[in-house]
Amino acid sequence: MLELRPYLRLLLRRRGRLLLGIGLMLVTVLAAVGLLAVSGWLITATAVTAALWAAGNRVAFDVYVPGGAIRAFALTRTVARYFERVYNHDTVLRLLADLRSGVFAALTRLDVLAQPRLRDGLLLNRLTADIDALDNLYLRLLAPPLVALLASLAVALLLGWFLPASLLLTLPTLLILLLLTSLVCARHGYADSTRQMALGESLRLRLLEQFQGLAELIAYGALDRHRRWLVEEETDLLAGQRRLGRRLAGYNALVTLVIQTLSVAVLALALQAFQIGELSAALAVFMALAVLGLGEAFAALPAGFIHFGATCAAARRLTEQANRSEPQAVPTTTRLPRTAQLHAESLYFRYPAAETPVLDRVTLTLEPGQRLAISGRSGSGKSTFADLLAGLRRPDSGELLFGGCRVDQLPPDARRARIAYLTQRSDLFAASIADNLRIASSAADRDELWQALHCVDLADWATRLPDGLDTWIGEAGHRISGGQGRRLALARLLLRDPWLVILDEPFAGLDRATINTIGERLDGWLQQRSCIVFCHDTRGVPGLDRVMQLAAGRLHENRP
Q: What is the footprint of another protein within residues 247-286 (CB under 8 A)? A: 248-250, 252-254, 256-257, 260-261, 264, 267-268, 271-272, 274-275, 281, 284-285
Contact 393, 384 (CB under 8 A): yes
Instruction: Identify the helix (H) or strand (E) that includes residue 87.
Output: helix 64-108
465 touches another protein by CB under 8 A: no
Q: Closest approach of Cβ 264 to another protein, in Å?
A: 5
Cβ proximity to another protein: between 32 and 312 the closer is 32
Alpha carbon 95 to chain centroid, angstroms: 11
The rounded distance, in Å, linking the Cα atoms of 412 and 395 is: 17
- CB under 8 A: which stretch of 99-107, 136-144, 161-169, 339-347 binds another protein? 99-107
Strands 419-422 and 500-504 turn out to be: parallel
Determine the size of the site formed for another protein (CB under 8 A). 140
Rg (CA), the chain: 35
Nearer to another protein, 82 or 161 (CB): 82
Decide: helix, strand or coil at residue 13: coil
Give the relative orientation of helices 281-299 and 223-275 as an angle to the nearest 10 degrees.
160
According to CB under 8 A, which one of 13, 228, 242, 539 is a site residue for another protein? 242
Query: Where in 472-511 is the site for another protein (CB under 8 A)?
Result: 475-476, 489, 492, 496
187-213 per-residue burial string, b: 16 or more CB within 10 A, e: under 16: ebbbebbbbbbebbbebeebeeeeeee
d(CA 550, CA 558): 10
Using rule CB under 8 A, residue 547 touches another protein:
no
Q: Which of 214, 329, 465, 552 binds another protein (CB under 8 A)?
A: 214
Site string for another protein, 119-158 (x = CB under 8 A): xxxx-xx-xx------------------------------
**Which parts of 386-425 interact with another protein (CB under 8 A)?**
390, 392, 412-413, 416, 420-421, 423
Longest dimension (CA), the chain: 125
- Closer CB to another protein, 157 or 176, in the complex: 176
* Of residues 419, 339, 424, 434, the one with CA closest to residue 376: 424
Q: How far apart are CA 125 and CA 118, in angstroms?
A: 10
Judged by beta carbon, residue 392 or residue 518, the one nearer another protein is 392
Residue 325 touches another protein, criterion: CB under 8 A: no
Told to check if 164 binds another protein by CB under 8 A, we report no
Q: How far is the CB of 558 from another protein (least distance, A)?
A: 14
Spatial distance between the Cα atoms of 26 and 146, rounded to a whole number of angstroms: 9
Q: Is 37 in the site for another protein (CB under 8 A)?
A: no
Q: Contacting another protein (CB under 8 A), which of 2, 55, 59, 215?
A: 215
Rounded least distance, CB 99 to another protein, Å: 8
Choose the stretch contacting another protein; rule: CB under 8 A; options: 202-210, 340-348, 398-406, 449-457.
Answer: 202-210
Kindly tell me the burial class for residue 449, based on how many C-beta atoms sit within 10 Å of its own C-beta (0-12, 13-18, 19 or more).
buried
What distance lies between CA 39 and its chain's CA centroid? 47
Residue 12 makes contact with another protein by CB under 8 A: no
Q: Between 329 and 368, how does the x/- string for binding to another protein read (CB under 8 A)?
A: ------------------------x-xx------------
